[in-house]
Structure formats: C-alpha cells, structure tokens
C-alpha cells in the first residue's frame, strides 16, 4: 500500500521547545490573580513551583502508563489549592493564555516548512498529533507564526481528546481526519514509547527523529531513525517507489 499521509509529533519533532518564558509568564499570572481576586497573590516563583510540581506528578503517572489526561484547568486548580487559593472556574479557564502558553518558546528549523511543502506537493496529507496541555487556539497561533499551519490537514491534541500517546485513540483520530488507514501512514516523533511503539502497534510506519533530542531505541526497532526532518521526504519516496 502506498503512503498517503505523514503525521508528525510537535514538540522536539516539528519544533524545538524551551520554557524560557516562565519567569515573565508567572509574574503576569501573579499580577492577574491579585487584580482579579482583589488581594495579594502568591509570588511568581511560588506559583511556578506549585504548577511545576503538579505537572511533574502527571508526567510520572504518564510514564507509569496512565494515559488519561486531566483538563488544563484542573492542573491549575490543584496547584493553586496547594497554595491555599480557591480560584473561580472563569479564572482557571484563562491560565493557558496567561501562564502556560506564554511560558513556552518554539524554534523551527528553516528546513521544516519546505519539508512539509514537499510532502504536500507529492499529494500527501499532513497531520500533527501532540501530547499537550495547551489549547488549539494557542498552538494554532504558534504554528501559524512559524509558517507550519497552512500545511497541516489535521491537528489532534491530547488536551482535546483527553488521552495521550501512545493511546491508540489519539492516532486513530488523526487518521480519521486525514482519511487514511494505518498501512498508508507514516508517523514521525522523538519518543520511542509514545511515538514509535504507539504508531507501530496500530500498523503505521514509525520514524524516530534525533534532530532535537536523542533517545536510544534500545531493543525496539523504528522503521527509520533520522537526524534531520528532511530525510522523511526521501523515505516516503522510497516506500512509494517500492509499492509502485
């Protein structure tokens, strides 16, 4: 069966990620809460530490196999409760825009938009699947700013599905939106357990990228290991020539 779609992870696959914006973001969150509640709020560092502790517990649970994802507002509710704060729902709903998304900075290699364009020019559908607590609006804004959004035919987020990779449902939703079966899809990601094994379990080809982080696959066997995202184009061309 010829390859009809390529689906990418986001973080450390389509772009590099850092959290250099956290100090400013949580400073803004502290000021926002003080103004909204009409009383002094915890300092920025205290807010940051409380949220980081909850995210760390969620990460540990994920690594232990818990694939159900809490809504983002529940992460902040739990963190703020640990500081003795009871925050109204309408304020919790704004934490993605005020604290989470401004914390994160993305860097896109100049080669990446041409890679996606080359896939589209071959008639392939292109999608992205991400384990994320960010909203669709926030991620779409960043994808557009980096010139990636116009190439995506599907964007599937764990923050909406409520399940994280490697759960099959999040991959299946991407393939449903793209209109392809597993045998006609390639998945590209940076995490062996979540991306490679999750995709292969459904019958997809799985590519492990080392462009932004290097994870040793050990005994597991990705269908391909790449150093640069551009290698995906040649890989798909080869697969389709062999099928041709």
The string of pLDDT tens digits covering residues 96-127 is 999 999 999 999 999 999 999 999 999 999 99
Given a contact cutoff of 8 angstroms between Cβ atoms, the answer to whether 227 and 47 are in contact is no
Sign of the alpha-carbon dihedral angle for 145, 27, 51, 210: positive
Could you tell me if 117 and 92 lie in one domain? no
Give me 164's structure tokens.
């994280």
Could you tell me if 116 and 235 lie in one domain? yes
Across the chain, mean pLDDT equals: 97
Could you tell me if 154 and 191 lie in one domain? yes
Could you tell me if 168 and 178 lie in one domain? yes
Residue 91, domain CATH: 1.10.150
Could you tell me if 48 and 153 lie in one domain? no
pTM for this entry: 0.95
Last residue of a domain, one of 52, 69, 103: 103
Residue 228, domain CATH: 3.40.50.1000
Could you tell me if 92 and 120 lie in one domain? no
Given a contact cutoff of 8 angstroms between Cβ atoms, the answer to whether 206 and 199 are in contact is yes
Sign of the alpha-carbon dihedral angle for 213, 219, 223, 224: positive
Could you tell me if 13 and 46 lie in one domain? no
Could you tell me if 110 and 98 lie in one domain? no
In this prediction, residue 73 carries a pLDDT of 96
Could you tell me if 128 and 225 lie in one domain? yes
Q: In what order do the strands lie in the sheet with 154-157?
A: 154-157, 125-130, 5-8, 185-189, 205-209, 224-226
Could you tell me if 213 and 124 lie in one domain? yes
Last residue of a domain, one of 103, 137, 160: 103
Torsion angle of C-alpha atoms 55, 13, 29, 36, degrees rounded to 10: -90
How many Å apart are CA 94 and CA 179, to the nearest integer? 34
How many Å apart are CA 77 and CA 62, to the nearest integer? 19
Q: Please count the other Cβ atoms lying within 10 Å of the Cβ belonging to residue 213.
A: 13
Name the residue range of residue 69's domain. 21-103
Could you tell me if 151 and 166 lie in one domain? yes
Share of the chain above pLDDT 90, in %: 99
In this prediction, residue 152 carries a pLDDT of 98
In this prediction, residue 227 carries a pLDDT of 97
Give me 51's structure tokens.
């949220």
In this prediction, residue 244 carries a pLDDT of 75
The pairing of strands 224-226 and 205-209 is parallel
Q: Residues 153-189: pLDDT tens digits? A: 999 999 999 999 999 999 999 999 999 999 999 999 9
In this prediction, residue 215 carries a pLDDT of 96
- Ranges in the chain, pLDDT < 50: none
In this prediction, residue 243 carries a pLDDT of 85
Could you tell me if 44 and 152 lie in one domain? no
Domain count, the chain: 2
In this prediction, residue 197 carries a pLDDT of 98
Last residue of a domain, one of 103, 128, 144: 103
């Amino acid at each position: 069966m010829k390859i009809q779609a390529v689906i990418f992870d986001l973080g450390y696959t389509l772009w590099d990620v850092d959290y250099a914006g956290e100090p400013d973001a949580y400073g803004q969150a502290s000021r926002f809460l003080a103004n909204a509640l009409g009383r002094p709020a915890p300092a920025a560092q205290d807010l940051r530490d409380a949220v980081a502790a909850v995210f760390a517990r969620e990460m540990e649970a994920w690594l232990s196999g818990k694939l159900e994802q809490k809504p983002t507002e529940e992460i902040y509710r739990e963190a703020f409760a640990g500081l003795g704060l009871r925050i109204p729902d309408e304020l919790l709903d704004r934490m993605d825009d005020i604290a989470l998304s401004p914390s994160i900075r993305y860097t896109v290699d100049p080669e990446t938009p041409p890679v996606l364009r080359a896939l589209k020019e071959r008639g392939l559908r292109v999608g992205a699947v991400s384990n994320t607590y960010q909203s669709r609006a926030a991620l779409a804004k960043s994808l557009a700013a980096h010139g990636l959004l116009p190439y995506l035919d599907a964007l599937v987020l764990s923050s909406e599905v409520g399940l994280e990779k490697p759960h099959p449902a999040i991959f299946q939703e991407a393939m449903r939106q793209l209109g392809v079966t597993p045998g006609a899809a390639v998945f590209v990601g940076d995490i062996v357990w979540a991306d490679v094994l999750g995709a292969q379990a459904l019958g997809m080809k799985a590519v492990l990228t080392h462009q932004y982080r290097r994870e040793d696959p050990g005994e597991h066997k990705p269908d391909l290991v790449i150093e640069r995202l551009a290698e995906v184009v040649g890989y798909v061309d080869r697969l389709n020539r062999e099928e041709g």
